[in-house]
Amino acid sequence: MKKIVFTGGGTAGHIYPNLAIAESLENYEKHYIGTAGMEKEILAKIKDFTFHEITAVKLDRTKHLKNLLIPVKLLKSILEAKKTLKKIRPDIIFSKGGFVALPVAIAGWQMRIPIITHESDLTLGLANKLIAKLSKVCCTTFYETSKKSNKFIWTGQPIRKELDNGNREKVLAKLNFPSQKILLFVGGSLGSKKINNLLKAPEYLTSKYAVIIGTGKNNIKDFTPQKNFLPMAYLNPIADYYSSADLVITRAGSGAINELLYLNKPMLLLPLSKTASRGDQIENAKLFTKLGYSEMILDEDLTKENLQEMIEKMIKNLNFYKNNMKKTLKQDANKKIIDLIKKFS
C-alpha cells in the first residue's frame, strides 16, 4: 500500500480540505504531520490517520522583532519534519500551505518526495509561494489563480462529504425557532472578536430575525441565549447550521466561502483587514461580490447600522444571489486532486 502525508494546520481552513481529500482517497496509508494545535485536536477524532507532531514557526505581523528568530526555528522544524518523513517513507506529500506545511515541504523536497500543494485563496500566501516552487503542481481554488504558470492547475476547493447531509429541520426542532429568516454568523474556528462584539447586544437584529452565532470556545462565556438568539461555542455539525441559514454572515476565508458557494448559500462577507492579515480575504470578498454571490463590508466600515442595512437588503434579494451561484461552473476538486495524487505517487 502506498503512503501519503498530509500537512497543514493552524486554522480549520488548512485542515478540513486535507480531510476532504483523504476521505475519498482509497488504498493509501494516511499520515498527517502538524503541530500541537488545532490539527492535533481534530485528527485525534479521525480513525484512519496516524498523526505526527512537529514544531513550526509563524510569521508575526505585529511583533516584527520576533521574526528575527524565524530562520533558526524554521531550521529546527525542517530537521524534525525530515526525521518524521524518514520514519514514514511516504510516496507523496499533499500540502494545504501555511506555516505548518512549510518545513514539511522543504524537508520532503530535500528528500525528493513528490509534493502537491493547494492554494485556497485568490492570491498565494508567503508559505505557498515557497512551497509551490518545490511542488510538482499547485492546485488552486480560483480559476484566476491558475493563470500564473503551467504548474498551476484549477481544481476548485476540496469539499467534505458531510456538507451534502445538512439537516435544516434538525436545527429548527432543536432550537425551536419561529418562522422568521435565520441569520448565521460564522467567526471562523476560533471565533471573531469583531463579529462577537456586534452581537453582544443583538436586539437590533433579533427583533426581526432569528440569529445563531459561532462564538469560539473561549468567548461563549460572554453570551447568554435569549429569544431568537442562540450563541454556540462550536457550530457542529456545521452542515446542519449551514442548511438552516437563510443568510450566512462570515469572514472571507476561502474554505468557508467556497463551501457556501457549493451549497448555494447567500453570504455577507466581512473580510479581515490588511492590518490583521495579508489582505487575501479582501481579494476573495471582492471577487465573490463582483460575481454576484455575496455582498461585503470592509472592517473599517463595519458598524451595527451598516450591518443591519446590508442584511435587510440581502434578505429581500436572496434569489438573486442563489441564481448567480447556481449558474457557476463548480469543479469536482476531490476527484481532480486525487487523480493528481495517483499520477505523482
Query: Amino acid identity of 248?
Result: V
Sign of CA dihedral 312, 313, 318, 322: negative
Does residue 188 surpass a pLDDT of 70? no
Does residue 283 surpass a pLDDT of 80? yes
The three cell numbers locating residue 54 = 512537529
Lowest mean pLDDT among 85-89, 159-163, 319-323: 159-163
Q: How many residues does the chain have?
A: 345
Upper half-sphere CA count for residue 336 (Cβ side, 13 Å): 19
CATH homologous superfamily for the domain 2-156+331-344: Glycogen Phosphorylase B; (3.40.50.2000)
Give the integer Cα–Cα distance in Å for 283 and 73: 31
- Whole-Å CA distances, 279 to 1, 29, 252: 42, 37, 10
Quick: pLDDT tens for 5-49: 999 987 777 899 999 999 999 999 999 999 998 899 889 888 889
Determine contact, residues 247/318, Cβ cutoff 8 Å: yes
Does residue 189 surpass a pLDDT of 70? no
Per-residue pLDDT, 328: 87
Per-residue pLDDT, 170: 87
Give the integer Cα–Cα distance in Å for 343 and 54: 28
User: Among candidates 75, 71, 81, which has minimal Cα distance to 101?
Assistant: 81
Per-residue pLDDT, 340: 98
Give the integer Cα–Cα distance in Å for 296 and 328: 19
Give the integer Cα–Cα distance in Å for 3 and 236: 31
Per-residue pLDDT, 332: 92
Query: Amino acid identity of 30?
Result: K
State the helix-helix crossing angle for 101-110 and 126-134, rounded to 10 degrees: 20
Percent with pLDDT over 90 in the chain: 66
Per-residue pLDDT, 55: 92
Region 185-213: mean pLDDT is 87
Give the integer Cα–Cα distance in Å for 253 and 242: 16
Quick: pLDDT tens for 145-156: 999 889 999 999
Radius of gyration of the chain (CA): 20
**Mean of all residue pLDDT scores within the chain:** 90
Does residue 288 surpass a pLDDT of 60? yes
Per-residue pLDDT, 68: 63
Does residue 191 surpass a pLDDT of 80? no
Give the integer Cα–Cα distance in Å for 121 and 252: 10
Determine contact, residues 9/35, Cβ cutoff 8 Å: yes
Region 236-265: mean pLDDT is 93
Quick: pLDDT tens for 40-97: 988 988 888 999 999 987 765 556 656 666 778 889 999 999 999 999 999 999 999 8
Per-residue pLDDT, 178: 66
Q: Which residues contact 115 (CB under 8 A, 6 or more apart)?
A: 92, 93, 94, 95, 105, 108, 109, 131, 134, 135, 136
Give the integer Cα–Cα distance in Å for 18 and 76: 24
User: Among candidates 271, 267, 320, 315, which has minimal Cα distance to 294?
Assistant: 267
Per-residue pLDDT, 60: 58
Per-residue pLDDT, 173: 79
Per-residue pLDDT, 239: 94
Structurally, at CATH architecture level, domain 162-326 sits in 3-Layer(aba) Sandwich (3.40)
Domain residues of the chain, as ranges? Answer: 2-156+331-344, 162-326
Region 166-182: mean pLDDT is 82
Per-residue pLDDT, 62: 57
Neighbour-count burial for 143-171, b at 16+ CB within 10 Å, e otherwise: eebbeeeeebbbbbbbbbeebeebeeeeb
Same fold, 2-156+331-344 and 162-326: yes
